[in-house]
Amino acid sequence: MSNKIHACSFDEIIERNWPEGVKKTRQRVDIYRVLHDCDQPLSAAEIFSALNKEHPKEGYAFSTVYRNLLAFEKAGILVKSVLSTEDNAVYELKQATHRHYAVCLKCHTKIPIKTCPLHDIAEHITESLPDFQITGHQLEIYGYCDKCKNTPAQ
């Protein structure tokens, strides 16, 4: 319920955001729901265990999760990224404006950073890289969150 404009059901959200050309299956809707209900990027393993927690009776395969994350990415509604502090990829539904995170090195919580600071200095970068055609960027802050900062050791 993070990116709703006004109150509406999950079915309506699905209806509105579902990408064209992607067949709507039970597994894909479930994966979409997990990503939608979470406010931070998730790893494939986290998505997998969330699915099996919410629907213990249904069977899910890792390959299905990976294949559908790829399908969502190709359809343009999901972004995959690899954070320098974790060794596996994380996935999140594409936001209206892209986001960056502060990642806690201890508990791995990912706190969205409100503004994209890069925006302010994009021209600065373009100046120093005149021949490079910039298509994107990634910024990641790391450190310790409020809960963990007093006990940073493992």
Q: Which does 14 bind (CB under 5 to 8 A by kind): a second copy, DNA, none?
A: none
Name residues whose C-beta falls within 8 Å of residue 12's C-beta, 6 or more positions apart in sequence.
Answer: none
In the bound state with a second copy, the residue whose beta carbon lies nearer, of 9 and 135, is 135
CB 89, CB 80: distance < 8 Å: yes
- Please name the residue that has the structure tokens 């249904």: 58
- Chain residues binding a second copy by CB under 8 A are 81-84, 86-87, 89, 102, 104-105, 111, 113-115, 117-118, 120-121, 124-125, 128-129, 131-146, 149, 152
CB 110, CB 130: distance < 8 Å: no
Q: Which does 68 bind (CB under 5 to 8 A by kind): DNA, a second copy, none?
A: DNA
Provide the residue type at 16 as one letter.
R
Q: Which does 137 bind (CB under 5 to 8 A by kind): a second copy, DNA, none?
A: a second copy
In the bound state with DNA, the residue whose beta carbon lies nearer, of 59 and 130, is 59
C-beta of 134: minimal distance to a second copy in Å? 4
Angle, in degrees to the nearest 10, between helices 26-37 and 44-54: 110
In the bound state with DNA, the residue whose beta carbon lies nearer, of 63 and 97, is 63
The tokens describing 112, both together, are: 């969205």
